[in-house]
């Protein structure tokens, strides 16, 4: 029920919110992130849309998010700015998905880590839908993965 529309909602929300918040424009690509250290931000979806969602992006992309926040790093940490971006992003994603489904969904507080593995395992259980996407921008490639089941 509506899984392909959910995928469209997740992708279009990611593109629209990131363009609005950070001025970053994306094109979808089959590429994967370049080698090297990347930030991984992941969260668990709960309610009627259960699953895991994660973003894997280079420091250049993270720098763009932090730069456009226009907040002094003395007042808040680099990782907290990234978490706030993801709170906005995930909140909008799940709000749009919930409105489409007519069902309740929420997410856990995002975790921020550094990793060299773009194939980070995010699946904590069995989910009927498992999707991954890569988007290219001037600030680097962003790898996005979602695994979910609609109740």
In tens, the pLDDT along 74-117 reads 778 888 888 888 889 989 998 999 999 999 888 888 888 887 76
pLDDT category, 119, cuts 50, 70, 90?
Answer: low
Sign of CA dihedral 88, 92, 93, 94: positive
- At residue 26, the 3 state secondary structure works out as coil
DSSP state of 116: S
Tokens found for residue 115: 């990793």
Which segment, 54-63, 113-122, 123-132, is predicted with the most confidence on average?
A: 54-63
pLDDT category, 1, cuts 50, 70, 90?
Answer: very low
User: CA 79 to CA 76: how far, in whole Å?
Assistant: 8
pTM of the model: 0.82
For the cut 60, the answer to whether the pLDDT of residue 122 exceeds it is: no
In tens, the pLDDT along 31-77 reads 776 667 788 888 888 988 888 888 888 888 888 888 887 777 777 88
Residue ranges and CATH numbers for the domains of the chain are 3-150 (3.40.1550.10)
């Amino acid at each position: 029920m509506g899984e392909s529309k959910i995928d469209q909602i997740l992708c279009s929300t990611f593109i629209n919110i990131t363009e609005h918040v950070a001025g970053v424009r994306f094109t979808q690509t089959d590429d994967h992130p370049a080698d090297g250290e990347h930030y991984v931000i992941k969260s668990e979806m709960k309610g009627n849309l259960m699953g895991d969602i994660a973003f894997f992006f280079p420091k250049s992309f993270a720098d763009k998010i932090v730069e456009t926040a226009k907040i002094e790093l003395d007042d808040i940490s680099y990782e907290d700015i990234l978490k706030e971006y993801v709170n906005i992003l995930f909140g909008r994603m799940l709000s749009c998905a919930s409105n489409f489904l007519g069902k309740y969904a929420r997410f856990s507080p995002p975790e921020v880590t550094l990793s060299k593995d773009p194939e980070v395992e995010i699946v904590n259980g069995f989910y009927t839908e498992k999707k991954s996407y890569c988007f290219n921008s001037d600030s680097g490639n962003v790898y996005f993965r979602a695994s979910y089941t609609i109740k």
